Amino acid sequence: MAARKKKAQISVYLDPDIMAMLADFAARRGQSRSLVAEAALASFLSPDGEERREAAIARRLDQIDRRMTRMERDTGISVESLAVFIRFWLATTPALPEPAAQAARAKAGERYERFVTALGRRLAKGPKLSQEIAEDVAPSDH
């Protein structure tokens, strides 16, 4: 049987918050604070520790990149939807004579309020337009 090495003792001063985190973690794991601190130091000082941290950062950056790609897609959908609506509206809405235009402006205020209410409900509950549009739709040649 191999002889067991005797561990060296050191004294370390820890910030009270770090000490509380260490004690809490050790208690949750059912381990001594000394064992948890030793494992943390071994991980921090190990040659592959830097590689693990880099891999974790790379994973996080990939997640952020995917989120930004979705945001760009959603913004593109919003801009294109608005442009299509405006073009359609301008092409199909005739100008009104002045007496009718005044009545239309009054009605527009009521309709706008209903629109904002409906938009608020849809944003709160969904579904979102971007969820209704398939992400894998290939651009068609127009």
| Each residue's pLDDT tens digit, 87-116 | 998 889 888 888 888 888 889 889 999 988
- Is 26 inside any structural domain? yes
- pTM comes to 0.46
Asked if residues 130 and 71 have their Cβ atoms less than 8 Å apart, the reply is no
- Is 103 inside any structural domain? yes
Measured between alpha carbons, how far is 25 from 34 in angstroms, rounded to an integer? 11
Residue with tokens 């939807």: 81
Per-residue pLDDT averaged across 70-99, rounded? 90
- Is 74 inside any structural domain? no
Percent of the chain with pLDDT over 70: 91
Q: What total number of domains does the chain contain?
A: 2
- Is 90 inside any structural domain? no
- Is 88 inside any structural domain? no
pLDDT at 109: 87
Domain of residue 121, residue span: 96-129
Measured between alpha carbons, how far is 87 from 30 in angstroms, rounded to an integer? 67
Per-residue pLDDT averaged across 21-41, rounded? 93
Measured between alpha carbons, how far is 80 from 74 in angstroms, rounded to an integer? 10
Question: Is residue 123 predicted with pLDDT exceeding 60?
Answer: yes
pLDDT at 52: 82
Asked if residues 84 and 142 have their Cβ atoms less than 8 Å apart, the reply is no
- Is 23 inside any structural domain? yes
The pLDDT-based confidence of 136 (bands split at 50, 70, 90) is low
Per-residue pLDDT averaged across 30-43, rounded? 91
- Is 78 inside any structural domain? no
pLDDT at 127: 73
- Is 110 inside any structural domain? yes
Measured between alpha carbons, how far is 124 from 122 in angstroms, rounded to an integer? 5
